[in-house]
Amino acid sequence: MATQINGLHHITAVSGPPELNYDFYTRKLGLRFVKKTINFDDPFTYHLYYGNYEATPGSAITFFPWQGVPQGSPSTGEATVTSYAVPKGSFDFWRDRFKRHKMDLISEESRFGEHLILFKDVEGMKNELVETVVSDSVRPHNTEDIPENAAIRGFYGTTLSLADTGRTAELLREFGWKEKAAEGDVVRYTSEPENQLGTTVDLKYEPGMRGRFGRGSIHHIAFRVPDDKAQEEWRKKLTEMGFGPTEVRDRQYFRSIYFREPGGVLFEIATDTPGFTKDEPLESLGQELKLPPWFEKNRTEIEKRLPEL
């Protein structure tokens, strides 16, 4: 039996200019900039990570700011919404903030009895704030203008837009997730323990959306496992199931395997270890450009070719 997969680890998307992305996620949403590094498969592109104070698994939204990539629009077979957990009673604060900062609030809705604010980021990517209860052990990032009782804790979850939700649901059940409820075109899956981060995946029946992959598109979603041993169990199991996962790739702060789930979404399974404090202390995360050891010899050229941030 492979270890149960509990929750999301990170979500990675494509953005336009890095400074606009940085401004939105830190100054508007109040996340902490936790790692400034490069795309290890494309070293002249940044890989920017934002999260809660400790950059815990289940809080990291990450971006590849690819130069010259066209504006994207959502397609069936992609993750199309990123949801963030905020404390109950914080929506008055957020409504006011969205208005003052002229942020693109789409609507307020209720789903499965929970109140949410749907909004777009600077690239038009859909995000939600969900009022919910998150364990007190999760430490939000402190900013001057967002009080602790409103600050984002990390991920609530994500929405996958699918032509057939059944086979993806089957895979989530293999992960150890359970169907919580169904409402309209959405089936909700959750993992334990429920007051942790990133434990909700909504499978939305949304066939026939033919968008374009580009700025504002989610590239992949990563689920978390505690360590290399659990990851190897899953690599074996996914291979047996016919998903053809990749070899383990060293992402410096975690190790990863990737595969496409039956609905077309690129899934990753990432280890909690070693974490974002591997190459800089918790207090100063995100302050310097960090390169993996195998790219240090190219630092001068990399720094020259990356845009100012």
Q: Least distance (Å) from Zn ion to the CB of residue 59?
A: 14
> Is-contact 289 300, C-beta < 8 A?
no
- The least CB distance from residue 60 to Zn ion, in Å, is 9
**What is the rounded distance in angstroms from the CA atom of residue 250 to the CA atom of residue 247?**
10
Q: Near Zn ion by CB under 5 A, which window of 11-19, 40-48, 170-178, 296-304?
A: 11-19
Distance of closest approach, residue 256 Cβ to Zn ion, in angstroms? 6
When the beta carbons of 12 and 271 are compared against Zn ion, the nearer one is 12
**Complex with Zn ion: residue 144 or 247, whichever CB lies closer:** 247
Closest distance to Zn ion from the beta carbon of 11 (Å): 8
* Interface residue with Zn ion, options 7, 8, 12, 224 (CB under 5 A): 12
What is the spatial distance between Cα 154 and Cα 139, in angstroms, rounded to a whole number? 9
Residue 15 as a binder of Zn ion (CB under 5 A): the answer is: no
CB of 179 to Zn ion, least distance (A): 26
Q: Does the protein bind Zn ion through residue 222 (CB under 5 A)?
A: yes
Q: Looking only at residues 244 through 283 of this chain, which bind Zn ion when binding is defined by CB under 5 A?
A: 268
Stretch that binds Zn ion, among 40-48, 126-134, 218-226, 259-267 (CB under 5 A): 218-226
In angstroms, give the least distance from the CB of 10 to Zn ion. Answer: 6
Q: What is the DSSP string of the chain?
A: -PPP--SEEEEEEEESSHHHHHIIIIIIT--EEEEEEEETTEEEEEEEEEESTT--TT-EEEEEE-TTPPBPB--TTEEEEEEEEEETT-HHHHHHHHHHTT-EEEEEEEETTEEEEEEE-TT--EEEEEEE---TT--PPPBTTB-TTTS--EEEEEEEEES-HHHHHHHHHHHT-EEEEEETTEEEEE-SSTTSSS-EEEEEE-TT---B-SBT-EEEEEEEESSHHHHHHHHHHHHHTT--PPPPEE-SSSEEEEEE-TTS-EEEEEES-S-GGGSS-GGGTTSSB---GGGGGGHHHHHHHSPP-
Does residue 13 bind Zn ion (CB under 5 A)?
A: no
Instruction: Output 122 or 221, the one with its CB closest to Zn ion.
Output: 221
Cβ proximity to Zn ion: between 194 and 232 the closer is 232
Q: Which of 139, 134, 149 is nearest to 196 (CA)?
A: 134
Size of the site for Zn ion (CB under 5 A): 3
Q: Which is nearer to Zn ion, 61 or 130 (CB)?
A: 61
Site for Zn ion in 16-45 (CB under 5 A): none
Q: Rounded to the nearest whole angstrom, what is the least distance from the CB of residue 268 to Zn ion in the complex?
A: 5
Span interacting with Zn ion, options 10-18, 198-206, 237-245, 273-281, rule CB under 5 A: 10-18
> What are the residues binding Zn ion (CB under 5 A)?
12, 222, 268
